[in-house]
Amino acid sequence: MSANKISDPAQFGRVAVVMGGSSAEREVSLDSGRNVLEALLARGVDAHAIDGIPALLDALRAGHFARVFNILHGQHGGGEDGVLQGALESLNVPYTGSGVLGSALSMDKTRSKRVWQSLGLPTPKFVALPRGADVHAAARQVGFPLIVKPACEGSSVGVTRVFAEKDLDEAVKLAAQYPGDLLMETLIEGDELTVAILGRQVLPSIHIVPKGAFYDYNAKYVAEDTQYICPGLEGVAGEELRALSLAAFDALGCSGWGRVDVMRDHSGRNWLLEVNTAPGMTSHSLVPKAAKAAGIDYQELCWRVLETSLREGA
């Protein structure tokens, strides 16, 4: 386990913890942000909450902050799609997590999958659905059961598992409530696993066992009966999963920290679903659970994430 790069909180300078924003994941981000802010303050960091990108950029241009802890989730004002990262680069302000390319690629699930496909990394069969596409023809291509979801949202918003053609139109209608294109992919039945990455350290995997049919928004943030088994896989299978997750993370140009979501089918094959470049940090969230299993408490986790704003050579 690597020692901290920084020992004195004053070395971080004044830190903006940017949260909330205007994406579909605003409430989750506010919850994450409150927890992060509390943890950093407890460790002596001069940290302050800022709600959304416009307020953050105003404060940065006025010279109020030295660096940014980005805990915004999602796109379109959510700070996880490369737009905020580009603005911060142009202002020469250091920030946590992935850069412009890694953030933008990861937010677009369709393009993430194309990159993985090109490298021979396993991801479920899929069809991109631009607005107005023939969804029934796409379903025949993918085959049932399948999943319909917005291509650029997180937290399982707008996601439907579809087992029969009669339910397809309703699933598309739900996903289409969110901006951007849609994505249809084969539903992999099996175990849902996630792997967190902190710097270059791959944390123990988590096997998510929701009480309901799958790990939806309710199971993620509301229900108290979702089981989290950590490590989710051990031995050779666990090492293979962690190596695949790091390869998927690197393939999209990600850096700093993040979380890779994977399905493991009944034959033991892993399938990459997506990468989250600013994962949740709520009481239900997965990265804190994985960190805890690796002996890293919540305050230390937040400190180490903040250290990812120190780019190599910075």
139-183 pLDDT tens trace: 988 888 998 888 776 546 678 888 888 888 888 888 888 777 888
What mean pLDDT value characterizes the chain? 89
275-314 pLDDT tens trace: 999 999 987 789 999 999 999 999 999 999 999 999 753 3
Tokens of 226: 């979702």
Stretch 108-117: mean pLDDT: 94
Domains defined along the chain, listed by start: 9-96 (3.40.50.20), 106-123+189-293 (3.30.470.20), 126-186 (3.30.1490.20)
Give catalytic residue positions. Answer: 25, 155, 221, 259, 261, 274, 276, 280
Tokens of 285: 């969230």
Whether 14 and 58 have beta carbons less than 8 Å apart is answered as: no
CA distances in angstroms from 176 to 39, 144, 183, 228, listed in the order given: 37, 20, 10, 31
Is 60 exceeded by the pLDDT of residue 220?
Answer: no
Per-residue confidence (pLDDT) for residue 313, from 0 to 100: 38
In angstroms, the CA 251 to CA 297 distance is 29
Tokens of 221: 């943030």
**CB-based burial label for 269 (10 Å; 0-12, 13-18, 19+):** exposed
In angstroms, the CA 132 to CA 172 distance is 10
The whole model's pTM is what? 0.88
Whether 127 and 110 have beta carbons less than 8 Å apart is answered as: no
Per-residue confidence (pLDDT) for residue 164, from 0 to 100: 85
In angstroms, the CA 8 to CA 141 distance is 57
Confidence grade of residue 6 (pLDDT, cut at 50, 70, 90): confident
Token pair 């799958």 is at which residue?
214
Stretch 102-118: mean pLDDT: 94
36-92 pLDDT tens trace: 999 999 999 999 999 999 999 999 999 999 999 999 987 777 788 899 999 999 999
In angstroms, the CA 182 to CA 240 distance is 30
More confident residue, 109 or 93: 93
